[in-house]
Amino acid sequence: MTKLILNRRRFIGTTAMAGVALASPAYLRRASAQGSGEVNIWTYNDFVPQSFKEQFEADTGIKVNIRLVDDQGKQYNLLAAEQPNPTVDIMTVAGHRFLQFIDNKLLAPLDTDRLSNWGNINPSFSESDWSTINGEKWGAPILSGMEVLSYNTDLVSQEEAMTWDTLFSDKYAGQTAYIIQDMMSIIMLKMGYDGNMVAYLDDPEKAAAIVNEAKQYLIDKKPLVRKYYDSGAEVQQMFVNQDIALGHSWNGPAAALINDGFPLAMTIPNEGSYGFVYTYNVANNAPNVDNAYTFLNAILASPEIGAAMTKASGFISTYKDATNYLTDLEKASTSFPEEQLANLQFFRAEANEMKYGLVDPAVEAVKAA
């Protein structure tokens, strides 16, 4: 198998290009004299552009402390363990996990009146049905993504990549990777079931049987997978090292590699997949709530910031006019053909308590098998 003639230094350097200087919003400079203290943020890699972080700290006097998270379930468990006195102010919750956090009083409703830049978010995200629960907003949408099948174009054909079956084929045994929890939903969809489990809210026994069927499928296919992983950075590194030929991934990490010139492509396979939206949320009883709102308003201040987040993460910006600051390649790596988009559904939250009550133990069973 031919190794990629690309180096990590070049990849890291390109990722750092998200650190290009951003124009300092005037309101930030006006606020700089009043700011002090810190704001503690749990988020994914590259969701806070380094240049923005440095500028925000210089202009406001507020120190930004970032703890990287790689899994929604882990983040939930961490926050639940810290309540009622969390150490975090802002975390990054996917919209379809809102109810789990809200029902357990882990999030504070978002006071959009404190965010003069709220209008910079595309209303298709900020005013969508999933973003309002119990008459309240619970997060500021920042990036949108989807579960895709990513593949090395030197090794795998597009035709092969149009079905999830290829991920579990003997041909690529030992050359694949995926996130088990995410694949559980995809496998249920592939089997013809509702991976959101909304259809089974009134039939928990059927829901349990479906999850068990998906779990057993992944256990049976376990000898074929090279690695179960948790973070976007992990799957990027596996592709760079050519440890894998194809894998399930989020579109963001894959797009970042494509923009750096790696021979990678991605599909939304014929059997379908799921999309999601990442939001910034304020923790219930956040220790630095005023600084949290200062940070949120700052990061929503400009489409250039939204574009910088896309450049670094590869996910699709929710900001109005952010695409005006992307190159043609960056625009192409964050779009899909209409016929593939027709295969996409969005994750939903209505059945999450039942779903993850079944899926989370199933994930551990797959790992332990």
CB 247 within 8 A of CB 269: no
The 3-class SS string of 179-244 reads CHHHHHHHHHHHCCCCCCCHHHCCCHHHHHHHHHHHHHHHHHCHHHCCEECCCHHHHHHHHHCCCC
Chosen CATH of 147-273+337-368 out of 3.40.190.10, 3.90.110.10, 3.20.20.70, 3.30.70.260: 3.40.190.10
Q: Does domain 9-144+276-331 have CATH number 3.40.190.10?
A: yes
Distance set, CA 307 to CA 67, 214, 219, 284, 322 (Å)? 22, 37, 40, 29, 5
Please give the DSSP secondary-structure letter assigned to residue 89: S
Work out the angle at residue 18's Cα, subtended by the Cα atoms of residues 16 and 23, and round it to the nearest 5 degrees: 130
Instruction: Return all residues near 142 (Cβ < 8 A) that are at least 6 apart.
Output: 47, 92, 278, 279, 280, 299, 306, 309, 317, 318
Instruction: Quickly list DSSP for 230-286.
Output: -SHHHHHHHHHTTS-SEEEEEHHHHHHHHHTT-SEEEE--TT-EEEEEEEEEEBTT-
pLDDT at 22: 54
pLDDT at 319: 93
pLDDT at 113: 96
Q: Which two tokens stand for residue 88?
A: 């975090």
pTM of the model: 0.74
pLDDT at 249: 96
Q: Which residues of the chain have pLDDT under 70?
A: 1-35, 129
Tell me the residue type at 23.
A
Torsion over CA: 126, 131, 132, 136 (sign): negative
Please give the DSSP secondary-structure letter assigned to residue 107: B
Domain ranges for the chain, please list them: 9-144+276-331, 147-273+337-368
Same fold, 9-144+276-331 and 147-273+337-368: yes
CB 345 within 8 A of CB 191: no
Please give the DSSP secondary-structure letter assigned to residue 48: S
CA–CA gap between residue 66 and residue 221 (Å, rounded): 37
CA–CA gap between residue 220 and residue 201 (Å, rounded): 27
CA–CA gap between residue 100 and residue 352 (Å, rounded): 7
pLDDT tens digit sequence for 108-161: 999 999 999 999 998 878 887 677 888 899 999 999 899 999 999 999 999 999
CB 30 within 8 A of CB 278: no
